[in-house]
Chains A and B, each alone.
Chain A
Amino acid sequence: MWLLDIDLWREVISTLTKNVLRTVLTTLGVIFSIIILIMLLGSTTGMINGFSRVFAGKASNSLFVWGQTTSVPYNGFERGRRVKYEMDDITMLKSQVKEIEAIAPRIELGGFQQTVTVKRAGNTSGSRVFGDFASIDKINRKKIIEGRFINKNDINQSKKVCVIGLETYELLFKPGISAVGKEININNIYFTVVGVYEKNGDFDFDGENAVIIPFTAFQKSFNSGDRVDWMAILIDSKYTVAKAEGQIKELLKRKYDISPKDTRAIGSFDFSQIFTALSAFTTVLQGFAFFVGIFTMLAGVIAISNILLITVKERTKEIGVRRALGATPKIIKRQIILESIVLTTIAGVIGFIIAVGMLYYLNTEVAGKSDVPFVNPTVSMTQVVISFTLMTILSILIGLIPAKRAVKIKPIEALRED
Chain B
Amino acid sequence: MIEIKNLHKSYKMGSNSLHVLKGIDFSVEEGELVAIMGSSGSGKSTLLNILGMLDELDEGSYDLDGVPIKNLNETKAANYRNKFLGFVFQSFNLINYKNAMENVALPLYYQKMVRKERQEKALKYLDQVGLKEWATHLPSELSGGQKQRVAIARAMVGEPKVLLADEPTGALDSKTSYEVMDLIQKINDKGNTILIVTHESDIADMCKRIVHLKDGVILEDKKVEQVRASEYV
Count of B interface residues, CB-CB < 8 Å? 30
B49:A323 contact, CB within 8 angstroms: no
Interface status of B223 (Cβ within 8 A of chain A)? no
In the docked arrangement, what's the CA distance between A417 and B41, Å? Answer: 13
Which residues of A sit under 8 angstroms from B90, Cβ to Cβ?
417
For A418, the closest partner residue in chain B by CB is B91
> Which one, B49, B79, B115, B166, contacts A7 given CB within 8 A?
B115
Inter-chain contact A327/B78, CB cutoff 8 Å: yes
B154 is an interface residue with CB less than 8 A from chain A: yes
Are the CB atoms of B106 and A324 closer together than 8 Å? no
For residue B87, CB closer than 8 A to chain A, the reply is yes
Q: What are the residues of chain A within 8 A of B78 when measuring CB–CB?
A: 323, 326-329
Give which listed residue, B93, B97, B166, contacts A321 with CB less than 8 A. B93
Q: Are B54 and A415 in contact (CB under 8 A)?
A: yes
A321 touches B95 (CB 8 A): yes
State how many residues of chain A have any CB contact under 8 Å with chain B. Answer: 25
Closest to B83 in A: A326
In this assembly, does B110 line the interface, its C-beta being within 8 Å of a C-beta of chain A?
A: yes
Q: Does A6 contact B (CB under 8 A)?
A: yes
Distance in angstroms between the alpha carbons of A330 and B76 in the assembled complex? 11
Question: CB distance B54 to A411 under 8 Å?
Answer: yes
In the complex, are the beta carbons of B79 and A326 less than 8 A apart?
yes
Once A15-B97, A324-B52, A327-B110 are accepted as A-B contacts, the answer to whether A417 and B91 lie under 8 Å apart by CB is: yes
With A7-B109, A15-B97: A326-B91 Cβ-Cβ less than 8 Å: no
A318 at the interface (CB under 8 A from B): yes
Q: Mark A1-20, 1 if CB is under 8 A from B, else 0.
A: 00000110001001100100
Q: Is the CB of A328 within 8 A of B75?
A: yes
Cβ-defined contact, A412 with B97, below 8 A: no
Interface residues of A in 335-367 (CB under 8 A from B): none
Known: A328-B78, A415-B54. 6 other contacts (CB 8 A): A11-B109, A326-B81, A326-B110, A326-B111, A328-B74, A412-B54
Give the interface of B toward A (CB within 8 A).
Answer: 49, 52, 54-55, 74-75, 78-79, 81-83, 87, 89-91, 93, 95-98, 106-107, 109-111, 115, 154, 158, 166-167
